[in-house]
Structure formats: C-alpha cells, structure tokens
A and B are shown apart, each in its own frame.
Chain A
C-alpha cells in the first residue's frame, strides 16, 4: 500500500536536525525544507549574536530546546538560577519540545562537562523524580528525558534503565526522548539486548527520537562504542530506529551531528534518509493494521 500524501507530509514534518553554529547563516539565508530544528539550550543563554539569530530562525522553523546542563541526577539538587535561565529561553522561543538527560554533571559545586551515569537505585529515582517535577513546575510544561549512552555499570544498581525511565514517567508525567544511538552504544558497551530495552519503554511516553553516529575505539584492550555524534547514522542504528517506529508510531525524529560537522547538504540528506525509513516502516505499519 502506498502511503497517502497526508502521511507523507506528516512524516516529513516530523524529521528535524540539530542546529549548529556553522549552519546558522545558511538556515537564515536559504530556509531549506526541514520539519524542525533543535538547539542546545545552554548555547543561547547569553546575549549578542546567537540568541538574535535564533529569533530569526524561530520565525521559519519549529524549535526544540535540548538542555545539557540541568544535571537532573545531582544529589546536591538542581541549580535554580540555571533553571530560570532555561525558563527565559522557553518564554522567548516558545519551543515545540523541551528535553534533558537522565544523567548528572554537577558535584561539589563543580560542573563536570559530560553526561555522567547514575546508579539506578530507589534513591536516584527519588532524586531525579523530584528534579523533573521541579523543572516541569517552573517551566509549566512537560519535559522529555533522554536515555544516556553508557560506558560503565554501578555494582549497586538495582533497577534496569528502561524500568527506571518508565517509573520516572509514572511518577512525574514526564515524556521520554528515546535516543536509539545511545541504546545501541550502551547495549554494545554493557552487553544487553537493545530490542528488549525498547520493549520495556512505555510507548505512549516517547515524544522524540534521536539518531546519530558513534565511534568504535579500543581503550586498554576494551572495545567500546563512543557516542560522539561524529559521523553518519550507521546501519544498526537505522535498524533500531525502524523497530522504535514500529513500537512508538510516527514520533518526531532528530538527526544529531556535532563532531566532524559536515556541510548542511550532507546533514539534510541524512534527515531525508530518516524520512524514507519512517515512510517505509510506517507505510508498512499502516498497511498491516
């Protein structure tokens, strides 16, 4: 069965790309066709050229704010001043979605600029749930929480990550950002089954999917995948994406590319690949149902 024009348009509109500084001028000048754009919130918390350019971008595209600095998993609490700056961006740009990570970055008043892993315990769950609730209260809207890429496991973890996320959704009403590259990276690094992970996520909570590339490295005789957003989306991540679509339906999808950032045409071509994958998968889905 051939997908209807409405389905095609809907899927095209659901695919976005990460907006990075070297592409800003091209988006403003050429307004290439893409469903939506996502920015890292922290890059627009000052004044000057960047936030002004984003105002211009916002007139042409739906915008999603993706935070990296709230440190939802910090035992010492979240930085209220940072949260207020995020609120300022939400008011200014009226984003279609706001997302953050299941991770922490702040300990002892120091910002360790990485998305660091949490032990999955009842204590962590209570802390993250409290912080997600606080963020949603201050922003007055739903937050999507992204699954992290993992390189190590805490011995005292008692809850599987997707179960932890499902319980977070149940307690706070937050949504999920399902990064299928992160699932693939974590599944490879920690040795679990990525499709079981997808099956354990509450399907109606997933409000966005992330796609990206990763790097394979050897570190002291340990083979690891590093979530570096530094290349095209590789085949196993595409396969997981199609599984995710079958499970979650037509969810807004982002192609992220940070390191080795290519020219805009290459990035947009990757987004069109996602569009074709979604159309093929969901077209079948529609036909089968």
Chain B
C-alpha cells in the first residue's frame, strides 16, 4: 500500500523541484499530464505576483519578471490559500537575486508594492478616538504602546522609490522626467483611506515616531526617536494626527484609577 502522504510529497517534488521520478512511477500518462498541474501552479502564482508588483514588472520587463517570479515560486511557494497574502518575501528574494544587482532600488520598489498589497486587503479594524487615552493613568502616559491599523505600512529607502513607482505604475507616461538616483532617499507611509490605497512621504521625525510605535515601542521611545531627528518635533500634534487619521486601533498601558493591591 502506498500512503497518501508519500504520493503528495512526490507530487510536491514533481511540481516544485521538477523531479518527476517518484511521481511518474505512481501515475499513468507521464510527464505531459503532470505538466498541466505544474503550468497551473506557476501560471496562477506568476499572475498573482504580476498583479501585485506591476512597477517591478515594468522596471525589469515582462520576460525577466516571469523568470524571476518562477524562481521565487519554486523556492518560496505559498504556505496558505489566501493568495492576497502571497509575495511578502518577494522583495527580499529580489534583493539577493544576482541578475537584479544592477537595479539597486528594485527591492525597495517591491517592498513599496507589497505594502500597497497589504494596505488593500489587510483586516478591517475600528479606529480609536483620542478620548481612549483618558482610560489610562496620566503618569503612565510615556509607557503607553499603540496597535496601529493593520493596513498602515512604513518604508524608508535610500532611493526616491515614490518617484520611481509613479513613473512605472500601469499607464504612466513613458517620457516622464529622468529620476536622479543620487537625489536622496525617502520615508513613506502607505495606508488605506476608505477603499483607496494612499501613499505619502513623511518627514524624518514623523517617520521615526510612527515607525517606533509600529514596532511596539512605547510612546516615550517614539518621542525620543523623533526628537533625535528634530529637536523641534511636536509630540502633541503628532499624537493627535495619529488618532485623527484613524491609525490607532489599540492602546495598552496602566489603566486609570488602578489601585495598587494592599
């Protein structure tokens, strides 16, 4: 008796490692028929990546993208069935992919497009109003931590990837002004406003503030990081804006009126 687990392991190896020897012994008809399934797998996932990373595709051209996508799928196939969640490691793959070395900004453009994918389909959540802060002891305010909206993403790049993305998104004019790669980097925030995915540049302290909170740092740590960028950073204004934009969905800290156990 041939256990199903072994059949499925052989199938997986035939599709991804292109080693059909084990599977071919189990099935009638051979390679052409196994090919149907391999084509279904690579064509469908290639389309998912092409839809998710259109600017990357345009930067490297369709044929090279198809090759890079094929290699990525072989070595990093999805673990789950929700394909909107597939492609999170494509940028890291491109960063280490030798044929892309002449495009140093490519991986960051891919990171930006991934944040846009995440922003489009991240879980819905109810934003908190700034009044939520009243639930916490004022003296413990510096130690508050915030959960930011899942759709909100932050990305810093040494390259002007926002301009590169705009010039290479679907339908962008080909004769756009040349982009000077040495012009400096950019700090970006991607978010969902209603059903639209929006991107904007943040100033260095604003980015440091949100990035520290996003990574789970305390309000005090976020303020310190922002002040290190600019001593004139307006903490109250930045905190108010975060709530006003609906970016905060959770606050943790010491509750107000919390009596110490006697």
Q: Mark A49-90, 1 if CB is under 8 A from B, else 0.
A: 111100000000000000011110111100100100100000
The reply to whether A111 and B195 form a contact with Cβ atoms under 8 Å apart is no
Q: Which residues of B contact A52 (CB under 8 A)?
A: 124, 195
B7-15, B135-143, B228-236: which lies at the interface:
B7-15
* Known contacts A153-B29, A220-B32; A112 and B41 CB within 8 A of each other: yes
Give the complex CA separation of A49 and B186 in angstroms. 28
Report which of A42, A113, A123 forms a contact with B1, defined as CB distance below 8 A: A123
**Nearest Cβ distance between residue A220 and chain B, in whole angstroms?**
4
Q: Which residues of A contact B34 (CB under 8 A)?
A: 152
- The winner among B83, B124, B151 for most chain A CB atoms within 10 A is B83
Interface size on B, residues (CB 8 A): 48
Whether A263 sits at the interface, judged by CB under 8 Å, is no
Q: Which residues of A contact B84 (CB under 8 A)?
A: 43, 45-46
Instruction: Tell me what chain B mostly uses at the interface: helix, strand, loop, or mixed.
Output: helix
Whether A163 sits at the interface, judged by CB under 8 Å, is no
* Known contacts A48-B195, A154-B27; A224 and B32 CB within 8 A of each other: yes
The reply to whether A110 and B32 form a contact with Cβ atoms under 8 Å apart is no
Q: Which residues of A contact B5 (CB under 8 A)?
A: 75-76
**Nearest Cβ distance between residue B22 and chain A, in whole angstroms?**
13
Q: Mark A151-168, 1 if CB is under 8 A from B, else 0.
A: 111111000000000000
The reply to whether B81 and A79 form a contact with Cβ atoms under 8 Å apart is yes
Interface residues of B in 109-152 (CB under 8 A from A): 119-125, 150-151
Instruction: Kindly count the residue-residue contacts between A and B in the assembled complex, taking CB atoms under 8 Å apart.
Output: 148
The reply to whether A153 and B4 form a contact with Cβ atoms under 8 Å apart is no
* Known contacts A69-B81, A111-B81, A112-B15; A152 and B122 CB within 8 A of each other: no
Report which of A71, A76, A152, A154 forms a contact with B81, defined as CB distance below 8 A: A71
Whether B77 sits at the interface, judged by CB under 8 Å, is yes
Q: Which residues of A contact B151 (CB under 8 A)?
A: 47-48
The reply to whether A48 and B122 form a contact with Cβ atoms under 8 Å apart is yes
The reply to whether B3 and A110 form a contact with Cβ atoms under 8 Å apart is no
Q: Which residues of B contact A151 (CB under 8 A)?
A: 29, 33, 36-37
By beta carbon, the residue of chain B nearest A115 is B40
Whether A236 sits at the interface, judged by CB under 8 Å, is no
**Nearest Cβ distance between residue A88 and chain B, in whole angstroms?**
11
* Known contacts A121-B4, A154-B26; A219 and B122 CB within 8 A of each other: no
Give the complex CA separation of A109 and B79 in angstroms. 6
Q: Which residues of A contact B16 (CB under 8 A)?
A: 110, 112
Whether B31 sits at the interface, judged by CB under 8 Å, is yes
The reply to whether B33 and A222 form a contact with Cβ atoms under 8 Å apart is yes
Whether A137 sits at the interface, judged by CB under 8 Å, is no
By beta carbon, the residue of chain B nearest A149 is B36
The reply to whether B27 and A219 form a contact with Cβ atoms under 8 Å apart is no
Q: Which residues of B contact A74 (CB under 8 A)?
A: 8
Interface residues of A in 116-153 (CB under 8 A from B): 116-119, 121, 123-124, 127, 151-153
* Known contacts A76-B5, A153-B27; A112 and B77 CB within 8 A of each other: yes
* Known contacts A50-B121, A119-B7; A114 and B44 CB within 8 A of each other: yes
By beta carbon, the residue of chain B nearest A156 is B2
The reply to whether A155 and B81 form a contact with Cβ atoms under 8 Å apart is no
Report which of B7, B9, B82 forms a contact with A45, defined as CB distance below 8 A: B82
The reply to whether B82 and A42 form a contact with Cβ atoms under 8 Å apart is yes
**Nearest Cβ distance between residue A101 and chain B, in whole angstroms?**
12
Whether B176 sits at the interface, judged by CB under 8 Å, is no
Whether A99 sits at the interface, judged by CB under 8 Å, is no
- The winner among A48, A74, A105, A116 for most chain B CB atoms within 10 A is A48
The reply to whether B124 and A48 form a contact with Cβ atoms under 8 Å apart is yes
- The winner among B26, B31, B33, B84 for most chain A CB atoms within 10 A is B33
Q: Which residues of B contact A116 (CB under 8 A)?
A: 8, 11, 37
* Known contacts A46-B82, A75-B4; A108 and B27 CB within 8 A of each other: no
Whether B35 sits at the interface, judged by CB under 8 Å, is yes
Q: Which residues of A contact B7 (CB under 8 A)?
A: 75, 119, 154
**Nearest Cβ distance between residue B151 and chain A, in whole angstroms?**
7
Would you list 14 pairs from A and B whose C-beta atoms are within 8 A, ordered by A residue? Answer: A46-B122, A48-B124, A75-B3, A75-B7, A107-B11, A112-B12, A112-B16, A113-B81, A152-B27, A152-B33, A154-B28, A220-B31, A220-B32, A222-B29
A42-B82, A105-B81, A219-B35 provided; 14 other pairs, C-beta below 8 A? A46-B122, A68-B81, A107-B12, A110-B78, A112-B37, A116-B11, A151-B36, A152-B27, A152-B29, A152-B33, A153-B27, A153-B28, A219-B32, A222-B33
B residues whose Cβ falls under 8 Å from a Cβ of A? 1-5, 7-9, 11-12, 15-16, 26-29, 31-37, 40-41, 44-45, 48, 77-85, 119-125, 150-151, 192, 195
